[in-house]
Amino acid sequence: MELEKYMKIAIGEAEASLREGNNGFGTVIVKDGKLIASAHDKEDTESDPTSHAEINAIREASRKLGQKLSGCILISTHEPCPMCASTIVWAGITEVAYGYSIEEAIAQGRKRMDLPCVEIFSKANNAIQIYDGVLKNECSILYRDDVRKEIERLRGADDQKLKELNEDSIRRRIKWFQENRDRFDFISQDLLDSGYQLLLERFRISSDEAPVIHKTDKAIVFHSMNFCPTLEACRILDLDTQYICKKLNENSTDTLLKQIDKRLIFSRNYDKLRPYSEYCEESISLPEN
């Protein structure tokens, strides 16, 4: 069984859920190496609290195979909740694979019923094999708070909305600088390095995640490779990062640097921007004269 292959399909379902405005869960059901059902949650769009991804996939599979799904494996981006785990038992499914666990979700601060599916399965008359942590890192992105917030901000955003988001970002970044200025001991006569260190501080990344690849007395160029919620939100929502990043945060980043010195300029090489490149090439510069 190619669990990772089918988990990627489940992730695609979860991303479709997020694009629709639902909660980002995806499930597939496979039997004898064949995809039987593929579904995602629709609680919000259908106003149905039972419309979980697992339930929807089981319904689809049952229409094709009948009420009992013995010999099937259910593969889900998130560990099944107690309702879904119980339905899995009643459906006669014998194998379950998931990426992100209830325990991990609770530790992250998300609301979950603290009842692992293994506890429900253990009380069933039929043994159910569990495979956990399948494509865990990829699945975890779906449930990160920063990614979820960015998806909410960008879903359906037009130029006017992006303008408003950019203005809000400018206000928040100026406020952050003013509130934290006293602890920025890295600000020095080297304006370019000061600006670079400020961006590392603001985005909570290390120099290894945004290494400097070129520096002169007029410019510093670095390649950002850090985890980026905006990048992930754009990927999930099928938005062009070249367009979104220019409209959304280039100006606010430039404004942040100018809190150090009005001459500092932030820019990006949009030919080298993720996901079109392995990194985002960004620079801080000073006027030639």
Which residues are catalytically annotated? 54
Q: What is the DSSP letter of 238?
A: T
Exposed / middle / buried, residue 65 (Cβ in 10 Å: 0-12, 13-18, 19+): middle
Q: Is 6 helix (H, G, I), strand (E, B) or coil?
A: helix
What's the CA gap between 207 and 240, in Å, rounded?
A: 26
Query: Which structure tokens are listed for 212?
Result: 């400097």
Q: What per-residue string of b and e applies to 219-251 under the rule 16 or more CB within 10 Å gives b?
A: ebbbbbbeebbbbbbbbbbebebeebbbbbbbb
DSSP 35-81: EEEEEE--TTTTT-TT--HHHHHHHHHHHHH-S--TTEEEEEEEPPP
Phi and psi at residue 244, to the nearest 5°: -65, -45
d(CA 88, CA 62): 12
